[in-house]
Structure 1
Amino acid sequence: MSECKPLATPAAVTQSATPSTDEFENPTQYRRLVGALQYLTITRPDLSYAVNRLCQFMHMPTDEHWGLLKRVLRYVKGTQGYGLCITPSSSTDIHAYSDSDWAECPIDRKSTSGYAVYLGTNLVSWLSRKQRTVARSSIEAEYKGLADVSAEVTWIVSLLRELGLHSGKSATLWCDNLGATYLAANPVFHARTKHVEIDYHFVRDKVASGDFVVSFVCTKDQIADVFTKPLPAPRFQALRDKLNVVSQPP
């Protein structure tokens, strides 16, 4: 596909009305290419959502999944010179963005979570992953996403303390769901969240101890949006810039 026409985004916003269920004739080739794209996500966080979705069909890819894979390759073709940019930063404060797309998967209705963790102005950790259990509300899906990023930030803080580089300030977690931010600060179990697994509630302990501050951010400023769903080209490109994925000089 070296001569293919480039595309502006790795995933289409619209889905096929009649998706193909025919098994792809060469699943080994599919797996080999997806594995290569997984390696590429080490320096290309903008590919995380699309590649994560492709990985979910490794066991039995269909012709439709092969089409989705070729779309990612067409996007890579047009952005071969892009990569994650790391620059000197005067700040060592940690702030992270967490987002979830509730019941996004049409097959099992599990939600997709994503986060982006910044050390100063640099992106140092990111994730796009389907949640392990089905969320019964958008608040629960967002709260589970907060739990994932809380675990990651806890590890980063521990590492920085060992290196003597931690600023001592509380990490700020940004979430675009008011219900989830209230739940993180409220020690009372609400009726509609009684079923949430206990291990997710360590977010509250971190907030109560002052390690984290969970704050609301409006959806248009939610950087982790790029890890949870396909986006239109202007929105995708704006968030890609905020991830510090930029065109590198030759």
Structure 2
Amino acid sequence: MLVYVDDILVTGNQEEAVSSFIAALSACFVIRDLAPLPTSVQGSSDSCASPDPIEYRQLVGSLQYLTLTRPDLSFAVNKFCQHMHDPQPKHMVMAKRILRYVKSTLDLGLLINPSSDFTIQAFNDADWAGSTSDRRSTGGYVVFLGPNLISWQSKKQRTVARSSTESEYKALANCVAEVSWLRSLLSELHVSVPSSPILWCDNLGATFLSSNPFISTQDQLGDILTKPLSHVRFHFFRDKLRLFSRMLSACEGSIR
């Protein structure tokens, strides 16, 4: 265990022992167990360039392909794609942290089940002025067709929002465009959508503007695409996105 002021790094060769130790700490103190991306990371640029920017670009460019099947990586990869032009040492360190997370979750995959439910539901969120370098917000959404996740996005907004309601409404507009395109695609495939799509938003101002259902921030699946989360919240949302171990899915299939 390494301790520096209020930062603690716990590691070991027995995962259960490490988890038990962290649980014991959390019982006595208020702690944050960080996921693949620290909740304090901002990625602002400075004058110190990366020793090997080509390596950084190749690494992050390769990670972009993983986001096609791993929505849990979308926010982190989007964050580091913003520094392709001038990567710094800290960005390379954090990008390699993503690699370590990927290595530890190689068995995760997006679970798609056959379903007769063609209801479209979308969870939409925005992190107002989350970037300290240009004060722009990051918007994100996840779209479900019945129980299956079929579309997601994490992207910095093009303009600066002057309020959280404005940033949320912009993100909502992008989500509506995606949902409209999906409905059009399903129509071309002769798939009938039984009801109007439902868009879930956790900002009351944006909700009043758009008259769509309000959802608690604790249940907002779009959070995983807009901001760093604690270990517990990250894994909670990751499971809600239907990312499961292939080994577990195979076992369930054999039981059935």
Question: Which runs of no fewer than 5 residues in structure 1 stay unpaired?
Answer: 186-213
Equivalence for 1:209: none
Q: 1:26 Cα deviation (Å)?
A: 0.7
- Residue in structure 1 matching 2:184, options 144, 158, 176: 158
Work out the CA distance in 1 between the residues paired with 2:45 and 2:94: 11
What 5-or-longer segments of structure 2 have no aligned partner? 1-12, 16-32, 251-256
CA distance in 1 between counterparts of 2:143 and 2:40 reads 29
Give the TM-score, by structure 2 length.
0.81
Q: Residue 9 of structure 1: CA displacement?
A: 2.4
- Residue-pair matches, total: 218
Q: Is the 8 Å Cα contact of residues 92 and 120 (structure 1) preserved in structure 2?
A: yes
Hey, what does 1:239 align to over in structure 2?
237
SS of the residue 1:216 aligns to: coil
The answer for the alignment partner of 1:230 in structure 2 is 228
Q: Secondary structure at the match of 2:213?
A: strand
SS of 1:99 mapped into structure 2? strand
TM-score (norm 1): 0.83
Report the CA distance between 1:83 and its aligned residue: 1.2
* Displaced runs of 4 or more, over 6 A: 5-8, 16-20
- Cα RMSD for the two superposed structures: 2.1
Aligned counterpart, 1:67: 93
| Aligned 8 A contact 1:115 1:126 in 2 | yes
| Alignment match of 1:174 (pick from 200, 203, 206) | 200
Equivalent residue, structure 1, for 2:174: 148
Quote the Cα distance in structure 1 between the aligned partners of 2:41 and 2:81: 18
Distance 1:104 1:16, change over 3 A: closer
1:92 counterpart = 2:118: yes
How far did residue 8 of structure 1 move?
Answer: 6.9
SS at match of 1:54: helix
Separation of aligned partners in 2, 1:18 and 1:92? 42
Percentage of pairs with the same residue: 51
Cα distance change of structure 1 residues 18 and 52 upon mapping to structure 2, 3 Å threshold: closer
Name the counterpart of 2:76. 50
Q: 1:63 to 1:93 in 2, by over 3 A?
A: same
